[in-house]
Amino acid sequence: MKRLSKNSNLLLASAGAMLLLFAGCGKNSDSEDQPDQVYTVSRGDFNVLISVNGTLDAVKRYEVKAPAVSKQGLDIIEVVEDQTQVEKGDLIVSFSDENYLDMVEAQEIKIEEAEKNLMILEQDYQMKIADIVSSIKTATDNHRVSEEVLEKYINEDAPLEKKTFQQNLDAARQDVSAEELNLASLKTKLLAAAMGDEAARQKLEEQVESSELRIENLESDEEKAAYNLRIFKQYTFPQRTRKLERDLVKTEMGLQRQLVNSTAQRVQLERKIKTQKRLLQSFVREMGDLHENIDMLRVVAPVDGVVSFGNPDPRRRHQQQKDITVGASMRPSELIGTIPDLSQLVVKVDIPESARSKVEVGMRAEIRIKALPNVRLSGELRSISDLPSHLIFWDRTSPKIYPTVIHLDSTDAPLRPGMTVEVELISDVIRNVIYAPVEALFVKEGQVVCRVKKIAGPKERNVTIGRSSSSFVEILEGLDEGDRILLGREEL
């Protein structure tokens, strides 16, 4: 048998590579003509389909993960079976808490030690504060005493001392004046008694000499009193005042130094206490985290549904799934499984790179469930990935595919995520044409031929074909409506 022309060969090869499905087909022949072998040609519409396999999945899945705890290994000690119906709050997986109990015990020791150290620091702080208060009080008292001594000296002692010196000087001057008056009186009497009694005159002379001697002594006392007053004013009072002022400054500096040192000591102690409190708080938080981790070791269902272990992504089917069984170990945050929302299901398919240009958002789809052959579903293509990925995600040499999502028009109760489905995407509708099944055509001597059933027997007829689908081919010339053609190449 010779080959078809290039265009016809490509059409038939493409059609033969796809599933043979009937959609919008014409009428079969009468029952006596073996309807599975004879087809009556008609005019009408037929669909150009793209057939792919896919998987049912939920629009939303609630992930169930191992707890995001420390880097400790998570050993499973209790677990439900895969595909178990659970209610919200039911236990799914329980992990061993043995390591965490040891850590809790060690943390309790840390907290107890930190509390003890904090108590010692607070006691030291109280004792040190008492010493600081006492030292400040002593320094304050010294400063106050110095200030009072200076004030008392300037306002009381020094004026009194000065007054005393002044009084002594005034008294000395009065004594000198009084004696000078007495001397003048004696000299007057002596002049009066010069011509008189010699004994009286002699006595007066003695009194005058004695008065003059006394005046000399009194003048010496006056000079001494004046000297004492001058020394007080020029030396004693300024020096004493300066000394008391220096003492006051010294006690004031001592008070300031004591205040600064006391503040530094208090701040240092308070900083130690604050640091110890932060350390204690961190230990308490760590203890709280440990208890939270222990509580997290019981993984419960977030919602009602059926728990499905493993990664639900069909593109990861070549990746070995971990067995979720007692004794198995998991990593923190590792995926245990999912609980799908059964109220909204979609079909996930992988469009081959060769068919990407033939599909677009909004296309209609017909869906058959392999596990439920009597169920027929329809849907709409809602999304196509902009970028391709590999069929086997870790194998860069595997074919490229475009992950695609089809939303179902309705959801039947028996449907479950993970069911395998056959999807036919309606790429085009060829309208108002004469068409024939693909299996009724064959190539003979370079021509597309079909066998028309006649009373005298089958008769071969050359036909000219046009557009095609996986099931039907448009007949441009060679057949008319009502022609009955054989679906096999051999004689009946």
Q: What are the tens digits of pLDDT across the range 412-441?
A: 767 888 889 999 888 888 899 999 999 999
Residue 2 scores a pLDDT above 70: no
Question: What pLDDT score was predicted for residue 10?
Answer: 34
Residue 201 scores a pLDDT above 50: yes
Give the residue-averaged pLDDT of 80-94. 91
Lowest mean pLDDT among 25-34, 323-332, 385-394: 25-34
Percentage of residues of the chain with pLDDT beyond 70: 88
Model confidence pLDDT, tens digit, residues 13-67? 333 333 232 333 333 434 344 444 899 999 999 888 888 899 888 888 899 999 8
pLDDT band at 249 (very low <50, low <70, confident <90, very high): very high
Question: What pLDDT score was predicted for residue 489?
Answer: 61
Residue bearing tokens 């208890």:
291
Lowest mean pLDDT among 31-35, 149-153, 207-211: 31-35
Model confidence pLDDT, tens digit, residues 441-475? 999 888 999 999 988 888 999 999 998 887 899 99
Lowest mean pLDDT among 87-96, 180-189, 208-217, 305-314: 305-314
Question: What pLDDT score was predicted for residue 343?
Answer: 80
Nearest 5 degrees, angle CA 296-CA 299-CA 305?
A: 150
Percentage of residues of the chain with pLDDT beyond 90: 50
Residue 275 or 4, more confident: 275
Residue 164 scores a pLDDT above 80: yes
* Cβ–Cβ < 8 Å for 54, 406: yes
- Alpha-carbon distance of 489 to 439, in angstroms, equals 9
Give every CB contact of residue 153 below 8 A, 6+ residues apart in sequence: 240, 241, 244
**CA-to-CA separations, 447 to 2, 70, 321, 392, 465, in angstroms, rounded:** 8, 74, 53, 42, 10
Residue 362 scores a pLDDT above 80: yes
**CA-to-CA separations, 355 to 14, 71, 407, in angstroms, rounded:** 12, 46, 20
Question: What pLDDT score was predicted for residue 457?
Answer: 85
Question: What pLDDT score was predicted for residue 481?
Answer: 92
* Cβ–Cβ < 8 Å for 390, 399: yes
pLDDT band at 398 (very low <50, low <70, confident <90, very high): confident
Residue 317 scores a pLDDT above 80: no
Question: What pLDDT score was predicted for residue 314?
Answer: 53
